[in-house]
Structure 1
Amino acid sequence: MKKIRIYAILISMLIAAVCTGCGSSPESLYETADMSSAAMDESPRGEVAMMNGAADMADDAGDAEAGEEIVYAPAMEADGEAADFDGGDMAMADGISEMKTFGAVADAPSAAGAPMADGMVADEVAVPRTAEEDEDIITDDPVIEEPIPEEPDIVAEAGMLTAGEWNDNENWGFFSGIVNKDLVSFPSYGLDPTQRIAVTVTNESGETLPNAKVQLLSEDGNSIWNAVTNKNGIAYLFEMDGKKGKSVKVNSASGAESTAPVEKHTDTQSDDAGKVGNCEIAVTVADSPTLYPDTQVMFIVDTTGSMGDEMFYLQSDFGSIAEELNDEHITWSVSFYKDEGDEYVVKGENAFSNDPKYIRSQLNAESADGGGDHPEAVAEALTDAFNNHEWKDDSAKVAFLIFDAPPHDEKAIEVQNAIQLASEKGIRLVPVVSSNAMRETELFGRAAAICTGAPYVFLTDDSGIGGSHLEPIIGDYDVEKLHDVIVRIISETKQS
């Protein structure tokens, strides 16, 4: 048999590999691989051996030396003997002690995935080499890598989030319509705002009386719902759990008293009348208006993991609002909640502060994590907010519930009690619904807002921030900056 120098074969293959590592196109490697494919085969153990067809490559690489046999690098069986191939028995070449693949040679990389014979890829080709050849391949030239640009940090500036505002109490005809048409249904977590009695309190001169305490009484004189008139002299009462109101009792801020009967009639604007109560009562009290100079504002924030996509922006907005609106007659408080099993369930300081920078620092100290299941500790947060914080009797009050998930189902009674207490103290609870909320969250938020005489606020997709935002079932509304909406609501809450 004609003898051929095996090193000519190996050098040809190494040159192809080096060219690839130095920037040769993948196509050139494929051409090399195609030339080698006819000379390669696979052993029964999955290793690659040179076949007799390699002699054709050797003829291109240099002249064959007479009297020398072709040397192969066959796969070895466990006993160290060469495996038998269709091309005949082959012996291990002297001086070749191991098989290496292109992919394992750092300075001679190949294009992974280049086609080879019988479905093989280029980085599976076994290439023996000597120390002298290694020295020829290794270079001292530095490898210049292009720097990977870092993504810019997101600056969560105030005023970036967008929102809409809707007030069901001021759009009662629309609300009645969607309830009567079964587009929405109540109760929601213990709250049924459909049986509403709107009370307007004025004096004999027709002036509206803010801060009057209003009670809805049953036939036996028991209290069903309590509320406080807003600065426009309006309070909203609700028949809950099937309890029917017989009369309304009003006590003005200075102690004057008056009562009026409840003459309730149902909404007749739809074909399915009767689901929504539509009772409006005017009560006259011999007193003059009393306005409170102080305003108390609370932020109740869901800090579970699902709030993470908008948390920085919410912190920036509400922190800046506190600094922007702060004066000697406004105080602030913050409360945070997660869920059972988290780092905490509810956390916050009971006292209100007139230091907006301190409020901002408290907001910024929190991070979004925990939670897990969909409902969160909303009931516990509301119970703590309205029971344990230092609300004054003689102040205008508003609380913002910033959240994306409803309470737990089994907490319905606790939710109802907390909302009733807020209404009794004159605390307007404004929901601020963030991204990825579901319809049940909207209905809970709207019910809580209706029952405390507050508007419903929701973030929108217009900012491009956070996940998708649920479009509520409401009428036309304006898209505004969340910052502007919250500032307006606080300003409308203030009485002087």
Structure 2
Amino acid sequence: SAPEVVTVEVTRVVTETVEIEGETVEVTVVVVETVTEEVEVPAAEEPAAEAPIMEEAEEEALEEAIGDDMSAIGSEDATGDGPPPPDTGPKVESDRTETSSTESAVEAEVRSADSDGETAVAEAPLSTSAEDPIVVDLALDQGSRLTAGEVDDNAQWDDYLLYLRNYIGASVMRVDVSERHQILVTDSQGNPVLGARIGVEANGEEVMVLRTYSNGRTLFFPRALNPDQQAQLYNLKITVNGLTETFDISADSSQREWTIVHPGADQLPTSVNLDVMFLIDATGSMSDEINQLKENIRAIAAQADALPSQPNVRFGMVTYRDREDAYLTEVTDFTPDVESFANALALVRAEGGGDYPEDLNEALFQSIHQTEWRIENTVSLIFLVADAPPHLDYGQQNHYAVEMLEAMERGIKIYPIASSGLDSQGEYVFRQLAQVTNGRFIFLTYGEEGAGSTGTETNFNVSDYTVSSLDQMVINIIEEELSHRIR
């Protein structure tokens, strides 16, 4: 039969220049646009003209599966017995600025060019086709990028001790970390040992257990022990692969750094496991953060899988609210199935909340004790995403100061991610969690317009910090943790 002329929609990749602050900057940006062309197709191939309709249907199905609900931003009332909420931030002001995918890609391009002198090519927006796994799995979504900074309080130790001394905010659980011993366990080649068990004995009794992290290090704080457990001499027993080495730490010793070359470490496997737990405040003010995680969890997982160490990756999740909400905690145990985890994440809604604090204490307990961490030969990470401190008026025995020591015992690092609504009490708690477990304190940053804009500004009591997109920061942390396993 004779050919028939029809109109179809096609996708083009184009390059363009942009004008920024009055100057024309030549950048290469990959964008996706829809245009209309006339093409000739055989009449028998008429169904091809329906391709746009199929693509739209697939896109609607994907949006429904992901469960994005941009109207769920909400806000929380500042009532209850807890500390007062901040004057500004997502818990008070729910309006947030949205940017288009093209604008975000341009901004990321310019930031990259400014930082390293090279022009990077932004990724195209994620495909909605289930038959295109390369793009869907590897490209970070550019539509609602959040920026974040990070500080390592263990690296800026004197500044951190000064911060602890000068804190005058609401009540916190103070833990004396002023005497800090840094312990490094290596094999005979100097490679760091992951998961070495260190039993700390005082007066013949084991008073604490530590495990080394992926960099072979862990921290010991004698003054953090209960007074009846403290001693003048501590005997540390380091066990690797069934072999035990011992050494002593004296309470009056000026030495604070210890390196142990362990004979049992030379027979350890080179493969590694990775357990990543997302501990998420799911109250009404957390919509932006939850939605961004939904958009990018597949890309994060794919990039972790592609790392040179080739880890065996599992994801888990604990969402939490408060005692008067529809639920207190919901636990999704670890799974290697990224699609299954993404589907569970898609069901999370930012709702509820009332007074300012949330029950982070219970959620942290659940994330450590009610999920199946592998521990042995495993890089174990918790990303805490929240904008409120824990309730400290519930009289809980499993409060965060206890649970962060439990995390140390299992070799779990905690990376708190603080949103703008977090007050000074919450900052203190989050930085404790990060410092004691050898993690870093991460916080969202904003532009001059405040919450909802992207930029480098923060109200937290930090200085000398780096800023990048939040998603890329999470990927970089995972890559850094696993880099120690490359031989």
Kept in 2, the 8 Å contact 1:202–1:208? The answer is yes
Of 191, 199, 223, which residue of structure 2 is paired with 1:215? 199
Q: Are 1:294 and 2:273 matched, yes or no?
A: yes
Q: 1:451 to 1:152 in 2, by over 3 A?
A: closer
Distance 2:190 2:411 in 1: 22
Distance 2:287 2:191 in 1: 47
SS at structure 1 position matched to 2:215: coil
State the Cα distance separating 1:169 from its structure 2 match.
1.6
Of 188, 196, 210, which residue of structure 1 is paired with 2:172? 188
Q: Are 1:261 and 2:252 matched, yes or no?
A: no
Q: Quick check: which one's strand share is greater?
A: 2
Indicate the residue corresponding to 2:257 in structure 1. 280
Indicate the residue corresponding to 1:388 in structure 2. 370
Q: Are 1:338 and 2:321 matched, yes or no?
A: yes
Of 163, 174, 182, which residue of structure 1 is paired with 2:159? 174
Indicate the residue corresponding to 2:230 in structure 1. 244
Distance 1:293 1:205 in 2: 18
SS at structure 2 position matched to 1:484: helix
Indicate the residue corresponding to 1:126 in structure 2. none
The two structures, once aligned, show a CA RMSD in angstroms of 3.1
State the Cα distance separating 1:465 from its structure 2 match.
7.6
Distance 1:309 1:234 in 2: 35
Q: Are 1:305 and 2:284 matched, yes or no?
A: yes
Q: 1:222 to 1:404 in 2, by over 3 A?
A: farther
State the Cα distance separating 1:335 from its structure 2 match.
1.5
Distance 1:488 1:399 in 2: 15
Distance 1:157 1:463 in 2: 21
Q: Report the AA paired with residue 230 of structure 2.
A: K
Distance 1:176 1:354 in 2: 40
Indicate the residue corresponding to 2:342 in structure 1. 360
Stretch of structure 1 that moved more, 463-472 or 436-445: 463-472
State the Cα distance separating 1:206 from its structure 2 match.
4.4
Of 451, 463, 467, which residue of structure 2 is paired with 1:479? 467
SS at structure 1 position matched to 2:402: helix
User: CA offsets per residue over residues 427-453 of structure 1, 9 Å max, x none?
Assistant: 111101112110111110111111211
User: CA offsets per residue over residues 36-68 of structure 1, 9 Å max, x none?
Assistant: xxxxxxxxxxxxxxxxxxxxxxxxxxxxxxxxx
User: CA offsets per residue over residues 386-425 of structure 1, 9 Å max, x none?
Assistant: 1111111322111111111111114564123322221111
Gapped regions of structure 1 (runs ≥ 5): 1-150, 268-277
State the Cα distance separating 1:347 from its structure 2 match.
0.3
Distance 2:148 2:421 in 1: 14
State the Cα distance separating 1:154 from its structure 2 match.
7.8
Q: Report the AA paired with residue 359 of structure 1.
A: F
Distance 2:317 2:448 in 1: 25
Q: 1:404 to 1:266 in 2, by over 3 A?
A: farther
Indicate the residue corresponding to 1:458 in structure 2. 443
Distance 1:204 1:382 in 2: 37
Kept in 2, the 8 Å contact 1:319–1:359? The answer is no
Structure whose alpha-carbon radius of gyration is higher: 1
State the Cα distance separating 1:369 from its structure 2 match.
1.2
Q: Report the AA paired with residue 198 of structure 2.
A: V
Distance 1:265 1:476 in 2: 33
Q: 1:255 to 1:422 in 2, by over 3 A?
A: same
Distance 2:405 2:297 in 1: 26
Q: Report the AA paired with residue 446 of structure 1.
A: R
User: CA offsets per residue over residues 347-403 of structure 1, 9 Å max, x none?
Assistant: 0222x2222233222222211111111111111111111111111132211111111
Residue correspondences, number:
333
State the Cα distance separating 1:196 from its structure 2 match.
2.5
Of 383, 387, 396, which residue of structure 2 is paired with 1:404? 387
Q: 1:309 to 1:207 in 2, by over 3 A?
A: closer
State the Cα distance separating 1:161 from its structure 2 match.
0.4
Q: Report the AA paired with residue 149 of structure 2.
A: G
Q: 1:293 to 1:319 in 2, by over 3 A?
A: same
Gapped regions of structure 2 (runs ≥ 5): 1-96, 102-140
Indicate the residue corresponding to 2:481 in structure 1. 493
SS at structure 1 position matched to 2:240: coil
Give runs of aligned pairs for residues 35-46 of structure 1, distance below 5 A: none
Q: 1:455 to 1:261 in 2, by over 3 A?
A: same
Distance 2:198 2:281 in 1: 32
SS at structure 1 position matched to 2:156: helix
Highest relative contact order (Cα 8 Å, sep 6+), 1 or 2? 2
Q: 1:444 to 1:188 in 2, by over 3 A?
A: same
Q: Report the AA paired with residue 418 of structure 1.
A: E
Kept in 1, the 8 Å contact 2:171–2:425? The answer is no
